[in-house]
């Protein structure tokens, strides 16, 4: 008997979701924003920036620079548009200490751990690795994957809902740099990867949960007096066919 379709769906979609959520976690494009600097600010940026990274940028005396700012859970980047000048650094300051960012970090790490554990638990108990699949163990792995999907969805929802306010100073306090207040931030590619991966985790885990349902096999019509073997209880196709004997098989 072939592996049940629910198990196949689960062990395919759950790893895909894990890879996408992991990709979103390590990339710094959860949110992005642009800021245009005048000529004076551009010159000071080039004089102070970069440890030799700005050698290829030669703006004219009155040319303005457009800065692209991106933030992730563990890394932030700043890049000059249409140039190779780019610098990344670990998150710091108000953004790092923001409780909503720290909450998202913890939920994503817990999601990755639970999803990986659920995939390992499910994969070693499906028919690919054993003669008779242990449906209860595979379904327990699916429960872990579903929990992981819920955690990552919660982290993404918290981050998306507060995206423009994360790490920003209190509006009632005086701003040391007014330009930061005018930086318009929006969702970026890593956030969408996370949403897609979380949905795949939910789909794969939900499919594995169907393994809890164990089909029952009545005795075959050709020999109703024979008891049904324990291995046949997972193989409804055998007892459902007319004029077919019942044999001990591996499912």
One domain for residues 15 and 68: yes
* pLDDT surpasses 90 at 244: no
Domain count, the chain: 2
Q: Show the domain range for 174.
A: 5-212
Secondary structure, 3-state, 2-62: CCCHHHHHHHHHHHHHHHHHHHHHHCCCCEEEEEEECHHHHHHHHHHCCCCCCCCCCCCCC
Express each pLDDT in 178-199 by its tens digit: 444 456 888 999 999 999 999 9
Express each pLDDT in 88-128 by its tens digit: 999 988 999 999 999 999 999 999 999 999 999 888 866 55
* pLDDT surpasses 60 at 142: yes
One domain for residues 149 and 245: no
One domain for residues 33 and 144: yes
Which pLDDT score is estimated for 86?
Answer: 84
> For residue 116, with 0-12 CB atoms within 10 Å meaning exposed, 13-18 middle and 19 or more buried, which class applies?
middle
One domain for residues 117 and 97: yes
One domain for residues 90 and 199: yes
164 versus 151: the higher-pLDDT residue is 151
One domain for residues 201 and 241: no
One domain for residues 194 and 146: yes
Look over the chain and give the mean of its residue pLDDT values, rounded to a whole number.
Answer: 75
């Amino acid at each position: 008997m072939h592996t049940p379709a629910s198990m196949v769906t689960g062990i395919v979609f759950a790893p895909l979701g894990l890879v996408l959520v992991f990709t979103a976690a390590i990339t710094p494009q959860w949110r992005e924003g642009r800021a245009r600097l005048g000529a004076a600010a551009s010159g000071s940026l080039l004089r102070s920036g970069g440890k030799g990274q700005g050698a290829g940028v030669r703006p004219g005396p009155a040319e303005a620079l457009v800065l692209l700012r991106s933030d992730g859970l563990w890394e932030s980047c700043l890049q000059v548009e249409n140039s190779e000048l780019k610098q990344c650094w670990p998150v710091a300051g108000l953004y790092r200490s923001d409780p909503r960012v720290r909450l998202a970090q913890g939920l994503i790490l817990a999601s990755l751990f639970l999803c990986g554990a659920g995939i390992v638990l499910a994969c070693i108990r499906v028919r690919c690795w054993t003669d008779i699949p242990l449906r209860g163990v595979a379904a327990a792995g699916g429960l872990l994957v579903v929990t992981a999907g819920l955690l990552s969805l919660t982290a993404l929802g918290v981050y998306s809902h507060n995206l423009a306010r994360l790490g920003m100073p209190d509006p009632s306090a005086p701003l040391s740099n007014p330009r930061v207040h005018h930086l318009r931030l929006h969702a970026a590619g890593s956030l969408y990867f996370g949403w897609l991966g979380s949905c795949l985790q939910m789909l794969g885990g939900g499919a594995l949960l169907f393994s809890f349902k164990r089909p029952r096999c009545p005795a075959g019509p050709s020999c109703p007096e024979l008891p049904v073997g324990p291995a046949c209880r997972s193989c409804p196709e055998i007892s459902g066919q007319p004029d077919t004997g019942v044999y001990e098989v591996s499912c």
